[in-house]
A and B are shown apart, each in its own frame.
Chain A
Amino acid sequence: MTRGLASLRRINPTILVFVVLLAAICWMSPLYRTPAGLLSLLQRAAPVVILSCGQSFVLIAGGFDLASGSLITLVVVACALITGGDAGWTWVALLASYGIGAAVGVVNGVIVARGKVPSIIATLGTLLSVKGIAMMWSGGAPGGYLPANLRFFGRYVWRHVPLVGRFPVAVVVLIISIAIMAWLMHGTNFGRLLLMIGDNPRAAELAGAPVRRFRMLTFVISALASVTAGILLGGFSGVSVDVGTGYELQAISAAVIGGVVLLGGQGSMLGAVFGGLTLYALFTLLNLVGFPEPMRVAVQGIILIAAAALSARRGRRI
């Protein structure tokens, strides 16, 4: 009986919050009461959710990745410059983007794991540098459009799909990304060891875990997630120089709302996913009720604190 209660308590409260928010959204707007409407919500939430999952790897292993927003900008700029609107170059641009992402992740990882620079500072540095590189490369204003087949992932919606009507491509990308990351976190030794590493890196090291390599990999995963989010965002909204601005804090916020504990050792992909969804649903709801924009920022702040206070209460029951 106590076990039953315990597992009930273990249900992530974020899911409940999300369900409540979603109910409110559906109540406010008829659009979201249809499957197509919900899917379009998912489409727009996809970048934040993917970022939140990627960020959670870093957070769970005890670090932070502040460079993800800049990396999104760099990816969009890179895609625009490489393709120059030419659909033939799309695959090259995609490959290059993931290459750039991997490189940024490795740099972050090496600075943190080998250089032992605290990740807040290390990724603050890469945030500046990556953004600077994006600006230098584009001269401050990227030339060129994103070709339609590149924007396909973030923008295209299949119409006349049985049962749901419209089905955004981004949702498929989202599901695949979540599946991969959830498997990495919960279905592999790698993911299980990350929790131990985040909790006590020294103990993990003395138990033979490749602490530095795994920590480095978390930054690579986060960076690759940022690239994916960048491709979706660029696809959804086109080229601009500040696409990624602020996404790093959104990703961290989403993860925290989902119960991932800063400084490591605790968290799950389920939480990260619902944290991202909750954050986006909140934005949508505030949009719908016509809450004045600046106050939405304030509400986001309050929600964030409340979520963290709640998970602190739960966490204290060690």
Chain B
Amino acid sequence: RAQTAATNSAAVDKEFAYEQTLMSAKPIGPADKPWEQSLSTNMVDTAKYKKAPPYRVCFSNASISNPWRVVGWKVMQAEADLHKSEIASLSYADAQDKDDKQISDIRAFVTGGKCDVLIVSPHTSDALTPVVEEACKSLPVITFDRNVRTDCPVTAVRTIGGYAYGMAGANFIVENMPKGGKVLMLRTAPGIDVFETRSDAAAKVFKAAGIKPIGVEFTGADNAKTKAVVSDYLSRVGKIDAVWVDFGAMSVAVAEAFEDAGQDYPIITGEDQEDYLQKWNQEGFKGIAPTYPAYQWRTALIAALDVLQGKPVYGPDWILPQPLITSANLAQYVDPKMPPLHYATCGCETLPGYPERWGGKK
């Protein structure tokens, strides 16, 4: 879930600036396949891992306890279906959000000796570091989503980062909100690294623009609580001009709170979850969706296969682009046939089984 929050402010500033440049940088790789693109140009040689197919791929997953991970896991399985001839088996271990179970799962994979490559989506970076190091000794390892604090994996698939995510929404608010407008910041929970960086970035942007949010509230990403919090704020301050969220699952609840109060929609930031995109598209409020693309689940498997085939891969960090959905390109992402909890940056449109596999209607 998290690295410890960065406390060193100089380092924070540096990372902030770095991610800012990455957002505007042009990725290398095929333009129509963002999951094969990279913002880092560095490649690692994988000749020593080369093997003859078919491959036995093992995947230790933190969990599938939220819709993003569910969408992602289906993306990975669908990607595997594309490579039926090369993949003998895709063994899966689900750690149910338990670090200690994930460590045991990885060890069981290593001990079992039935894996040619190991993909890890770690639950907690620090916790998984030693066992990943252990695994690196016997087979090639790919990490994605969260990463671990070691260089031993062949590559760590990641997106630009939380700062980029956080600043995108905040910048949009700064640019579009009337002067002196009121901003409410909604956060999921404290102490979780990715959410911390997102809100740090937003707070920084607001501060630079001289905006002091009227409040920062934790909602646990719970819809009922989000609605109640927003309603309470509306009753307290009368009018709110923008709501910034660190997690897009809350956005529709925010919009509904305004509907229920009989008020006009403010600026609402979100994410590429379909319910938000569809609402945004329908109601035409001012919105923006930074993303945490679910196509990285494809990338991880692609990287694993590349490694086994001895093809060089981007590394040690494979930095994927992080598309920004704005009203200009909204039409490209919104799809009323997809279910509300689907993620639009799944990169799965061309995969076998789309859209039914993801709960969509033909």
Bound pair (A, B): yes
Residues of A within 8 A of B (CB): 29-32, 37, 40, 44, 47, 138-145, 155, 157, 233, 236-243, 245, 284, 287-288, 290, 293-294
With A284-B232, A287-B228, A287-B232 given, is the CB distance from A237 to B70 under 8 Å? no
* Complex CA–CA separation, A181 to B71 (angstroms): 41
Q: Residue A31 contacts which of B70, B227, B236, B253 (CB distance < 8 angstroms)? A: B236
Q: Residue A233 contacts which of B71, B224, B226, B339 (CB distance < 8 angstroms)? A: B224
25 contacts between A and B (CB under 8 A): A138-B359, A139-B70, A140-B73, A141-B341, A141-B359, A142-B339, A143-B340, A143-B359, A145-B275, A155-B256, A155-B260, A236-B223, A236-B227, A237-B222, A237-B227, A237-B256, A238-B252, A238-B253, A238-B275, A240-B249, A245-B222, A287-B217, A287-B228, A288-B236, A293-B218
- The answer, yes or no, to whether B67 is at the interface (CB within 8 Å) is yes
B338 to chain A, nearest CB (A): 8
* Complex CA–CA separation, A145 to B218 (angstroms): 25
A254 to chain B, nearest CB (A): 15
**Chain A: which residue is nearest B357 at the CB level?**
A139
Is A243 in contact with B223, judged by CB distance below 8 angstroms? yes
- B window 216-251: CB within 8 A of A: 217-218, 220-224, 226-229, 231-232, 235-236, 249
* B contact residues around A142 at 8 Å (CB): 339-341, 359
* B contact residues around A237 at 8 Å (CB): 222-224, 226-227, 253, 256
- The answer, yes or no, to whether B351 is at the interface (CB within 8 Å) is no
Q: Residue B223 contacts which of A144, A238, A288 (CB distance < 8 angstroms)? A: A238
- B window 316-351: CB within 8 A of A: 339-342
- The answer, yes or no, to whether B130 is at the interface (CB within 8 Å) is no
* B contact residues around A145 at 8 Å (CB): 275, 340
* B contact residues around A141 at 8 Å (CB): 67, 70-71, 339, 341-342, 359
With A238-B252, A240-B249 given, is the CB distance from A143 to B339 under 8 Å? yes
* Complex CA–CA separation, A37 to B226 (angstroms): 18
Is A37 in contact with B232, judged by CB distance below 8 angstroms? no
**Chain B: which residue is nearest A237 at the CB level?**
B223
Q: A141-B70, A243-B224, A293-B217 are in contact. List 15 more A-B contacts (CB 8 A).
A: A29-B235, A29-B236, A44-B224, A139-B70, A140-B67, A141-B359, A142-B339, A143-B340, A145-B275, A233-B224, A237-B222, A237-B256, A240-B249, A241-B341, A284-B228
* Complex CA–CA separation, A47 to B70 (angstroms): 28
B interface, by DSSP: helix, strand, loop or mixed? helix
With A243-B224, A287-B232 given, is the CB distance from A294 to B190 under 8 Å? yes
A29, A142, A157, A242, most chain B CB atoms within 10 A: A242
**Chain A: which residue is nearest B236 at the CB level?**
A29
A318 to chain B, nearest CB (A): 39
Nearest 9 Cβ contacts at the A-B interface: A143-B339, A140-B70, A143-B359, A237-B223, A31-B235, A293-B218, A141-B67, A141-B341, A237-B224
With A44-B228, A236-B224, A284-B232 given, is the CB distance from A139 to B341 under 8 Å? no
A301 to chain B, nearest CB (A): 16
* Complex CA–CA separation, A290 to B218 (angstroms): 11
A140 to chain B, nearest CB (A): 3
* Complex CA–CA separation, A146 to B267 (angstroms): 24
**Chain B: which residue is nearest A40 at the CB level?**
B231
* Complex CA–CA separation, A308 to B176 (angstroms): 51
* Complex CA–CA separation, A171 to B253 (angstroms): 20
* B contact residues around A239 at 8 Å (CB): 275, 340-341
A243 to chain B, nearest CB (A): 7
B217, B227, B341, most chain A CB atoms within 10 A: B341
Is B359 in contact with A242, judged by CB distance below 8 angstroms? no
